[in-house]
Structure 1
């Protein structure tokens, strides 16, 4: 028993000595400290993009979940890279100068965020630095969901046209050389802008006709009207019908799938329509007089795109009844506008509300999906090239060089 007590006492003394040694070591330990970093002065710079090619495109994102935060993306389709972005506030529109000198964004803001004085703005950007090179107050602009023909640019880039509907239907004409709005042209009962030549444009009117505006050397407009060529409450035409500003051609596509080839000018002429479905060997689709017939029909937002070099039209198609013109396309149909024949049908991996196409010999087709991906197809055979994942929130239209 005495030996056990002595053993326990010895262990307590040993533990006390060990604890004292550890505490002494901790109190005397001085770790080696790293040298204080030398703070560098932050320097800002501007990265200049190399000259763009036919596959550098602009993509507008409406960001519908918080649409005051709209954007325009600069995208390289060959690498799948997002090269840059500029703000495109509420319900914006974008057009690119035909020579690639600049691109223009029309947008609207309010001084106090969601209230206060309203500002309608036209901003011009350098396409290589993305720096703003002009910031112009507009008299107004149409505040509707962004539509490609809400804004347009002439064939030589001298005039930019901005559609307005307050207090009346009108088009503001911006002179890119003077950097100012030089005229407002009234187009009563008509809307949107389809440019032709250097100083002319047409608008669609509520009775199914066209208003044609030609401006002389001093910018004075002359307005003419065509007879109606479609019946609006029976088979209206899509606002996003594709056009070629250089020669003033537009292919108006109706809800049922009729194509009206139109040559714009002071006396615009409209050819006899032909049917997309008949071009594919199907029966012509019904109009509003038989609204419940289910067949293949055009639909979407930017639902069609034109490759002008070979006159091929790409149209998003879906199966549905007459009033399903806002449905996304489950197939992409490629049509030859010269022969009125179907070239191919391309089933899509995911429904798309938008189609765009580049104009070069190795063209690329652009689609989107609900996830905001930009899907790139080969323009020759319609096969997938790449997917740029989660590019945006609501990709609604594209602008490619040479359109």
Structure 2
């Protein structure tokens, strides 16, 4: 594959899921790798290895089958290894929180739902499953920046943090206090890191800033970003936040006239929010954008997915006008997708 930085789109399908690889410069399609149904995806930190966990069913949508973790070499678009998983993989709209690497990339954590929820732990050095961790009533995987711990969101508004032993064979768990109200202000699965803190966005457009440094989730800050802004604004989409760490700016997908069930619709604006000064810097009009990602190539750009037309859109970021966005390119070579990825 030709050199240069890449942006990745994970297309989910009932039969075959595909990770499309585009150039960040001009959105040229550089390659792709494919797996089975309901493919979950993630990347190594350097962007040279892609992982997909997906199902291969005898009758495509039902029947006997197996779940497989595929490990791809990105520069050559080839399969490096396959690891058979317990037949428990979640079959929900793909999200970054469902397939995550540990901080040192020794383990990969995989979300299960049968519908009972658990996490499969794979030792990538050994190439085998080492543990299944039950997490009833909890979903999503948020690894710590060091060691072998991860947190998960629970249905009562709390988080549980699991700490694994270095060999992955044993674990302990700690449950937090209630962090958010699941009825009045539910949060999206999407997250990002601001410095060392985890950040989530709620349906109502509120930022929850959390710390996992002590081995248990604690609420550090609550920021009602949309409060007082006319139009009943709230967050919309799937991957609803992405942080530009160099600028200290959080980008958020937002829509007006929010109501019950509108949280998965495409956004009509992308807001740039200064996390230090706690103020909105700009509001850029967009159409039907459901997922965003800040990706650093030759320059830093924001990429978005149009959920209705299956388009990846490239936006130039202008720091002189409050980090406002200007559309500078688009490409469509894929079907339904809710994930954009870039190398760290």
Q: Same fold (TM over 0.5)?
A: yes
1:18 is matched with which residue?
none
Q: Tell me if the contact between 1:237 and 1:252 (Cα under 8 Å) persists in the aligned partners.
A: yes
Runs of 4+ in 1 over 3 A off after TM superposition: 112-116
2:19 is matched with which residue?
72
Distance, in Å, in 2 between the alignment partners of 1:282 and 1:113 is 47
| Paired residue secondary structure (2:19) | strand
Distance, in Å, in 1 between the alignment partners of 2:38 and 2:78 is 21
1:85 is matched with which residue?
32
1:317 is matched with which residue?
254
Distance, in Å, in 2 between the alignment partners of 1:395 and 1:212 is 29
Structure ranking higher on relative contact order (CA contacts 8 Å, 6+ apart): 2
| Paired residue secondary structure (1:149) | helix
Q: Tell me if the contact between 1:195 and 1:248 (Cα under 8 Å) persists in the aligned partners.
A: no
- Displacement, 1:170? 1.1
| Paired residue secondary structure (1:333) | strand
Q: State the superposition RMSD in angstroms.
A: 2.0
1:227 aligns with 2:177: yes
How many residues end up aligned between the 2 structures? 333
Q: Tell me if the contact between 1:196 and 1:248 (Cα under 8 Å) persists in the aligned partners.
A: no
Give a deviation string over 1:173-212, Cα, whole Å, max 9, x none: 1111111111111222211101112411100011100000
2:240 is matched with which residue?
303
1:383 aligns with 2:326: yes
| Paired residue secondary structure (2:304) | strand
User: Which consecutive unaligned segments of at least 5 residues does structure 2 have?
Assistant: 319-323
1:240 counterpart (181, 190, 205): 190
1:342 counterpart (254, 277, 280): 280
Larger Rg: 1
User: Which consecutive unaligned segments of at least 5 residues does structure 1 have?
Assistant: 1-48, 284-293
1:172 counterpart (108, 120, 123): 120
1:274 is matched with which residue?
223
Higher strand share: 2
1:216 is matched with which residue?
165
Give a deviation string over 1:290-330, Cα, whole Å, max 9, x none: xxxx5121111222212223331111111113322122111
Q: Tell me if the contact between 1:256 and 1:322 (Cα under 8 Å) persists in the aligned partners.
A: no
Higher helix share: 1
2:85 is matched with which residue?
138
Alignment of 1:11-90 (within 5 A): 49-53=1-5, 56-63=6-13, 67-90=14-37
1:397 aligns with 2:344: no
Distance, in Å, in 2 between the alignment partners of 1:297 and 1:399 is 24
- Displacement, 1:75? 0.8
